[in-house]
Chains A and B, each alone.
Chain A
Amino acid sequence: MHKTFVIAMREYQAAVRTKTFIITLVLMPVMMGGGVGVQFLLHDKVDTKDKHIAIVDLTGQLYESINGAAQERNEHEIFREEDDTQKQILPRYMIEQVKPTTTERDELLFSLSERVRNEEILGFVIIEPDSIENSDPNPMRQALSYYSNSPTYDDVLKWIDDPINEQIQIRRMIKANLDADIVMRATQKHRMANLGLVEKDEDGHITKAQQTNEVANILVPLGMMMLMFMTIMIGAQPLVHSVLEEKMQRISEVLLGSVPPFQLMMGKLLGMVGVSMTIGTIYLIGSAVAIHYAGYGEMFPAHIVWWFLVFQGLAVLMFGSLFIAVGAAVSDLKEANNVMTPMTLVMVAPMFVWMNVVREPSSMFSTVLSLIPPVTPMLMTIRQAVPPGVPVWQPLVGVVLMLITTVGCVFIAGRIFRIGILTQGKAPSFREAMSWVARG
């Protein structure tokens, strides 16, 4: 046992005392959160140049109102208060009326398209003459059309839809002798508040329901899952290279003179569990502090931290033992990568279903999937991080199943390691490796 500890300590120190470790520690969250961070930093780095839009109002009634709405927007909706100044963060929309000079519709469309291509205008809107009429029951009829050469920029399309339709509705009401003001108020919709459940506190008082933060409810489980993935990868994956290097440099032969193979393997595994736990703990504490300072302290899922660490430790043992077996069985990195690809796919499998699990953490699909050992650590963590969490028996069953699988993996890896670590030359076929396992 002492020798296992000595090996584990060496492995741990060799990993954490390197510059690579420090760089990984800093870079990993930067890379993972980098996309979000960059978007946050660049969120107001938009083009504020005026956008010119031509309106062909074939009803002859709507242009003035639309232009009025645009001016209203340009005066009030495109600025942000910043240190007592108004900073423009959105472009102005400059509406231009185009009166058709030709009765040829195609000619009109072409000439306006040319203006878009020449970048005189961003796009143009055609309001059909009968768009105010309500005679056509076909809802698919295109009474309004927006033409542009920038299909991915849909801000104008999203904005202009409302003022035009509002004006059309008002005119329809007037035609029908309805008081537009009354109708608009009568048909006004309410916004539904998204709340959690009420609870009784320690004094027996019923607490107020908390406003549900949909973004946080997705981001927190996602963050926990990514952290789990990252810590498993950092703990388990280097074992392939470490074992392969020791095998090729004959270090393992020296070690096997003093340490039985299983103790050697367990020492290496436990060392990397330690590395993984160190990183996990640093990130968990870092996240808790960061979230607290950002004023969202209650969003940190402190209640699942212990579960997280247990699942993380088991996952590193499980995947790590398999990676050790790969490192011991092969003779070069290329062979190792071939064998590792399917294993890495299993590790990333939860990424393909995480959205479904976040949306419906208690569904049969999510529950059953989160109890399948290779994906349990990541999926169970997601489910636990979505309020209100899962019944305690589920992570318990998850841990038991993980434990059984981990013991199996370590057993298999131990047998492959014992023979593979001293075998040079061609890597064994799957059948040969299984015969190593069977023979012992």
Chain B
Amino acid sequence: MNVVEIDHITKTFSGHRAVDGLSLTVPEGSIYGFIGPNGSGKSTTLRMIMRIYYPDTGSGKILVLGQHVHGAANDRIGYLPEERGLYKKMKVRDALRFYAEIQGMRDYKSAIRHWLERMELSDWADKKIETLSKGMAQKIQFISAVIAKPSLVILDEPFSGLDPVNMDVLREAVLELRREGSTIIFSTHDMGVAEKMCDYIFMIFKGKKVLDGTLDTLKDEYGQDTIRVILPDHNGNLSDMEHVEKVTDFGRTQELRIVPGTDSQQILAALMQRGRITHFELTRPSLHDIFVRIAGPEAQQVQPPVALEEVHHA
């Protein structure tokens, strides 16, 4: 069963198309990652799934948990917006009680206790929100989104601004929710997180869908055109090498995108001319690289984005 079914929806703000003819299906129990540059339409799409925005009249339809969006707000959806919103003067426990109640929850005491312990925030239960650090407030906001055990959890940039420890805590909580049967949709700019956590990845660029599928299928589409290499003694630039389209310098590691059809042994031989090699790996492009290929300045100079449907139809 699909938890979200979006069919050719468009959303326009003052003449600007924020979302343009978008289609998407999110299977039940999956973790679906939304990626895309800032202003590409991620949050607008999430807000439409949340029924905060409605698609343009006459455009397609959205079914969430089997219901059309033109209905009442749904207590089965938990939502963490991109910009956090908590009443600063409220105490943590009161705030969580309030959010539990507006999501239709009556028996919330044990859930509040469980989540505060889970997030290591029990000592802060009677403190005001304004006294919490940014990371703590973010965890409280997360609890408020999931406390009512929603079937669908929508998290807009849940990991941004978190330190690695808090990031782990939150990631484990998300995975626990999935284990308990919730479907998770989250947007992120962290490609590493998306690669590691998501069953499906969806990329939107300038309002159009440009990627949609499992990580493997996406990478397969691009083939094994990437070489990661470590040359400890080499300080020069590798972009002058033949059959190399692009070099991304990560400092210790260099990532080379090679011209399709090039023999990797030929590249290896050329690299050996430049110095001692301690690591040589022929691989598929990373999600980061795919992202940059689609949305980076280089791609934009060449051509406007092509929607995935258009590619498939072609």
Contacts of B47 in A (CB 8 A): 253, 422
List the A residue with the shortest CB-CB distance to B82.
Answer: A250
Q: Could you tell me if A3 and B52 are in contact, using CB atoms closer than 8 angstroms?
A: no
The number of residues on chain B lying at the interface, defined by a beta carbon within 8 Å of a beta carbon of chain A, is 30
Q: Could you tell me if B101 and A256 are in contact, using CB atoms closer than 8 angstroms?
A: no
Which residue, of A249, A254, A259, A422, has the highest number of chain B Cβ atoms within 10 A? A254
Which residue, of B77, B79, B141, B144, has the highest number of chain A Cβ atoms within 10 A? B79
Q: Say yes or no: A257-B52 contact (C-beta < 8 A), given A6-B98, A6-B102, A250-B83.
A: yes
Candidates A3, A18, A249, A250; contact of B102 at CB < 8 Å = A3
Q: Could you tell me if A253 and B101 are in contact, using CB atoms closer than 8 angstroms?
A: no
The verdict on A216 contacting chain B, using a C-beta distance below 8 Å, is no
Q: Could you tell me if B101 and A14 are in contact, using CB atoms closer than 8 angstroms?
A: no
Q: Could you tell me if A253 and B52 are in contact, using CB atoms closer than 8 angstroms?
A: yes
Q: Say yes or no: A259-B102 contact (C-beta < 8 A), given A14-B89, A253-B52, A422-B52.
A: yes
Q: Could you tell me if B53 and A14 are in contact, using CB atoms closer than 8 angstroms?
A: no
The verdict on A303 contacting chain B, using a C-beta distance below 8 Å, is no
List the B residue with the shortest CB-CB distance to A4.
Answer: B102
Bound state CA distance, A130 and B86, in angstroms? Answer: 87
Instruction: Tell me how far the C-beta of B163 lies from the nearest C-beta in chain A, rounded to whole angstroms.
Output: 22
Contacts of B78 in A (CB 8 A): 257
Interface code B81-102, partner A: CB below 8 Å = 1, 0 otherwise? 1111111111000000011011
Candidates B53, B77, B90, B145; contact of A422 at CB < 8 Å = B53
Q: Could you tell me if A254 and B85 are in contact, using CB atoms closer than 8 angstroms?
A: yes
Candidates B80, B84, B102; contact of A7 at CB < 8 Å = B102
The number of residues on chain A lying at the interface, defined by a beta carbon within 8 Å of a beta carbon of chain B, is 21
Q: Could you tell me if B87 and A259 are in contact, using CB atoms closer than 8 angstroms?
A: no
Q: Could you tell me if B144 and A251 are in contact, using CB atoms closer than 8 angstroms?
A: no
Q: Say yes or no: A14-B52 contact (C-beta < 8 A), given A256-B73, A258-B73.
A: no
Bound state CA distance, A260 and B75, in angstroms? Answer: 11
**Which residues of A from 1 to 28 have beta carbons under 8 Å from B?**
2-3, 6-7, 10, 14, 18
**Which residues of B from 44 to 92 have beta carbons under 8 Å from A?**
47, 50, 52-53, 72-73, 75, 77-90
Contacts of B138 in A (CB 8 A): none
Which residue, of B87, B89, B141, has the highest number of chain A Cβ atoms within 10 A? B87
Chain A contact residues: helix, strand, loop or mixed: helix
Q: Say yes or no: A251-B86 contact (C-beta < 8 A), given A6-B101, A6-B102, A257-B52.
A: yes
Which residue, of B73, B86, B145, has the highest number of chain A Cβ atoms within 10 A? B73
Q: Could you tell me if A257 and B104 are in contact, using CB atoms closer than 8 angstroms?
A: no
The verdict on A128 contacting chain B, using a C-beta distance below 8 Å, is no
List the A residue with the shortest CB-CB distance to B90.
Answer: A14
**Which residues of A from 271 to 288 have beta carbons under 8 Å from B?**
none
Q: Could you tell me if B87 and A251 are in contact, using CB atoms closer than 8 angstroms?
A: yes
Instruction: Tell me how far the C-beta of B145 lies from the nearest C-beta in chain A, rounded to whole angstroms.
Output: 8
The verdict on A252 contacting chain B, using a C-beta distance below 8 Å, is yes
Interface code A239-261, partner B: CB below 8 Å = 1, 0 otherwise? 00000001001111111111110
**Which residues of A from 385 to 440 have beta carbons under 8 Å from B?**
422
Candidates A246, A251, A255, A257; contact of B77 at CB < 8 Å = A257
Instruction: Tell me how far the C-beta of A243 lies from the nearest C-beta in chain B, rounded to whole angstroms.
Output: 13
Bound state CA distance, A154 and B47, in angstroms? Answer: 73
The verdict on B103 contacting chain A, using a C-beta distance below 8 Å, is yes
List the B residue with the shortest CB-CB distance to A247.
Answer: B85
Candidates A18, A250, A258, A260; contact of B103 at CB < 8 Å = A258
Instruction: Tell me how far the C-beta of A48 lies from the nearest C-beta in chain B, rounded to whole angstroms.
Output: 54
Interface code A218-258, partner B: CB below 8 Å = 1, 0 otherwise? 00000000000000000000000000001001111111111
Q: Could you tell me if A14 and B77 are in contact, using CB atoms closer than 8 angstroms?
A: no
Q: Could you tell me if B84 and A250 are in contact, using CB atoms closer than 8 angstroms?
A: yes
Not counting A14-B90, A259-B73, a sample of 10 additional A-B residue pairs whose C-beta atoms are within 8 angstroms of each other reads A7-B102, A249-B88, A252-B85, A254-B144, A256-B50, A256-B73, A257-B52, A257-B73, A257-B77, A258-B79
Which B residues are within 8 Å of any A CB, using their own CB? 47, 50, 52-53, 72-73, 75, 77-90, 98-99, 101-104, 141, 144-145
Can you sample 11 A-B contacts with CB below 8 Å?
A246-B85, A249-B86, A250-B81, A251-B85, A253-B47, A253-B83, A256-B52, A256-B73, A257-B50, A258-B75, A258-B103
The 6 closest A-B pairs by CB, nearest first: A251-B85, A257-B79, A250-B85, A250-B83, A6-B101, A253-B81
